[in-house]
Amino acid sequence: MRILQLLPELKVGGVERGTIDLSEYLVSQGHESAVVSGGGDLVKLLNQHGARHFKLPIGSKNLKALIQIKNLRNIYNDFRPDIIHVRSRFPAWINFFALKQTSFKKPIVISTFHGLYSKPFYSKSMSYADEIIAISKTVKDYIKKNYKIDLNNLHLIYRGCDIAQFNNSKPEDLWLDNWYKDFPQTQNKILLTLPGRITSWKGIEDFLLLLTHIDLNKYHGLIPGHVKKNKERYYKSLLSLVKKYNLQSRVTFCGSRSDIANIYKISNIVFNLSSKPEPFGRTIIEAAACGTRVMGWDRGGVKESLEMINPKGLVPFGDVKQLVNEIPKMLAEEAPQTIPEIFTKNHLVKATI
């Protein structure tokens, strides 16, 4: 079969990683795989496993981008997919109109809802599919509430992490030496880590507030995450907050890291403190797979994940004081040794096929 996936870009992120994982598995099973996106660093991974990439700016949310309907239709007429898998709202709209006129049999359309979208009308494009995948029970409930679909075509498939990359093997000595050379302030500290993009809803303010309530002679905060250009002003406001709290030597912004698995492994606790309910909470799964304790707010996809990994890591939303109180208790708990099979890449790709 020929399977083509659509998403805005192939840069760092959970949606992007899932796209690569599925494409690699498809090729390994003898299928032809292709991806349409605006490009990015992960395109090279498609090339490595023999998939095709069609570069097309289908993620720009403006009327000018609608010109890509014709260009996408041309790609379809060239590749002639049997299945199209849409992973984002605006590309789904372009796909919807591109399929109005094609020179071959209409392919099966599958969509994956990766989020709890704030604009249901705009997001209706994701419901225009023959089969729909929800990445958590939280997302599945959201779909059932907001869209008129055939529930027989709605499927729950959790996101999965690659346990070949995220596992509890120890980081190499060379990596550790380089890490402590670059970040000597983290050595011999209990490391509390909040991974994720630097954006206003990831709970960074709560994390910084948390650090003001603990003994920072013992603890150090890590915040690995990419800062987009349009988030630079917000990032500067966080640095001002760090200064206000006198945390300059107690918390480290690491930037975007390709070695995030090793950062999980040297962390004592990894947190997810998003101010909005997470549709899934991939960082919780990845960190637990690396043998690291995990904590987060008691709601959304994070709650689902923690209930199956370690429910003691759940804390009522927004209760920073309770979060502080639970840290010593969590450190006394045994760290997870593995994650449920349903949270693995292997289960994800097989269930999707």
108 and 131 in contact (C-beta within 8 Å)? yes
Q: Cα separation of 169 and 94, whole Å?
A: 43
Q: Which amino acid is at 95?
A: N
Please indicate, yes or no, whether residues 114 and 199 belong to a single structural domain of this protein. no
154 within 8 A of 143, measured Cβ to Cβ:
yes
Same domain as 187, residue 148: no
pLDDT at 133: 98
Phi first, then psi: what are they for 53, rounded to 5°? -130, 130
Cβ contact 87:112 at 8 Å:
yes
Q: Tell me which residue range forms the domain holding 17.
A: 2-157
Q: What is the pLDDT of residue 17?
A: 86
Query: Do residues 86 and 95 touch, judged by C-beta distance below 8 A?
Result: yes
State the pLDDT confidence band at 120, using cuts at 50, 70 and 90.
confident
The whole-angstrom separation of Cα 29 and Cα 293 is 35
In a domain, 347, yes or no: no
What CA–CA distance (Å, rounded) separates 192 from 210?
A: 10
185 plus 333 within the same structural domain: yes
**Which domain CATH number covers 49?**
3.40.50.2000
Last residue of a domain, one of 130, 157, 184: 157
Q: Taking Cα atoms as reference points, which of 135, 79, 69, 137 lies closest to residue 101?
A: 69
Tell me the per-residue pLDDT of 22-33, one tens digit each, with 9 for 90 and over. 999 999 999 999
Q: How far apart are CA 33 and CA 296, in angstroms?
A: 36
Last residue of a domain, one of 104, 123, 157: 157
Residue 119 confidence (pLDDT) = 79
Strand partners, 190: 219
Is 330 in the same domain as 227? yes
Shared-domain flag, residues 201 and 57 = no
Task: Label residue 269 by pLDDT band (50, 70, 90).
Answer: very high
| Range name among 49-63, 75-89, 325-339 with the lowest pLDDT average | 49-63
Amino acid identity, residue 347?
Answer: H
What are the tokens at 340? 């449920």
Alpha-carbon distance of 134 to 143, in angstroms, equals 8
Residues 126, 189: one domain? no
Examine the pLDDT at 64 and tell me if it is beyond 80: no
Q: Looking at the structure, do residues 284 and 228 belong to the same domain, yes or no?
A: yes
| Closest by Cα among 295, 292, 282, 285 to 262 | 292
In-domain check, residue 162: no
Tokens 């009308």: give the residue: 121
Phi then psi for residue 115, to 5 deg, are -145, 175
pTM over the 0.85 mark: yes
Query: pLDDT at residue 259 above 80?
Result: yes
Question: What span, in angstroms and rounded, lies between the C-alpha atoms of 133 and 342?
Answer: 14
Q: Decide: 193 and 283 in contact? Cβ < 8 Å.
A: no
Domain co-membership, 222 together with 267: yes
At 302, the pLDDT band (50, 70, 90 cuts) reads very high
Reported as a single tens digit per residue, the pLDDT across 137-168 is 999 999 999 999 999 999 999 999 999 999 99
| Mean pLDDT of the chain, nearest integer | 94
pLDDT in tens, 232-258: 999 999 999 999 999 999 999 999 898
Please, which pLDDT band fits residue 121 given cuts at 50, 70 and 90? Answer: confident
Alpha carbon distance 160, 80 (integer Å): 29
**pLDDT for residue 80:** 95
What's the rounded mean pLDDT across residues 281-310? 96
Same domain flag for 40 and 100: yes
d(CA 353, CA 350): 5
The length of the chain, given as a count of residues: 353
Residue 267 pLDDT exceeds 80 = yes
Is 353 inside a domain boundary?
A: no
Q: Answer yes or no: do 28 and 127 share one domain.
A: yes
Q: In terms of domains, do 123 and 235 share one?
A: no
φ/ψ bin of 262: left (φ > 0), alpha (ψ from -120 to 50), beta (otherwise) = alpha
How far is residue 271's CA from residue 194's CA, in Å, rounded to a whole number?
5
Q: Residue 315 corresponds to which tokens in the numbers above?
A: 């804390």
pLDDT at 332 > cutoff 90? yes
Confidence class for position 353, pLDDT limits 50, 70, 90: confident
**What is the count of structural domains for the chain?**
2
Pairwise CA distance, residues 228 & 333, whole Å: 36
Same-domain status, 282 and 180 = yes
Residue type, 351: A
